[in-house]
């Protein structure tokens, strides 16, 4: 079983749509959780950290369920500029100090 699993998609949605991505992680000792965004041929950029209490940043909402070892990202009112690969990332667990990336979910927002 992979340490971090994501549905690779692709997700193709129209502008204005709401889209949700899910991610599961295998190691219950994992300590920190993030969503990164990566544009084609660019470096990953931190989108937001994920907390058990849930956190929101504008159109983006992230949620962590430690009991189910499940992380989610919700994007509301999708924009064309949201088209990217979204990476679920977990820190700690099997190797302290190591970021483990999911395979990424490809999102394409079309007019």
**What residues line the site for other proteins (CB under 8 A)?**
31-32, 34, 36, 41-46, 49, 87, 89, 91-92, 95-104
Tell me whether residue 21 or residue 34 sits nearer to other proteins (CB atom).
34
Beta carbon nearer to other proteins, 82 or 93: 93
* CA 30/CA 50 separation, integer angstroms: 12
Rounded CA separation 75/83 (Å):
11
> Nearest distance from residue 58's CB to other proteins, in Å?
17
How far apart CA 35 and CA 29 sit, in angstroms, is: 18
C-beta neighbour count of 37 within 10 angstroms: 19
Least gap, CB of 16 to other proteins (angstroms) = 28
């Amino acid at each position: 079983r992979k340490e971090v699993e994501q549905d690779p998609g692709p997700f193709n949605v129209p502008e204005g749509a709401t889209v949700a991505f899910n991610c599961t992680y295998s190691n219950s000792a994992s300590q920190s959780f993030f969503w990164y965004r990566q544009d084609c041929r660019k470096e990953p950029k931190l989108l937001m950290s994920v907390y058990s209490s849930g956190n929101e940043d504008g159109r983006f909402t992230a949620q962590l369920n430690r009991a189910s070892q499940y992380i989610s990202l919700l994007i509301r009112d999708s924009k064309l500029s949201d088209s990217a690969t979204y990476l679920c990332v977990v820190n700690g667990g099997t190797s302290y100090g190591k970021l483990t990336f999911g395979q990424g979910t490809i999102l394409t927002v079309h007019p």
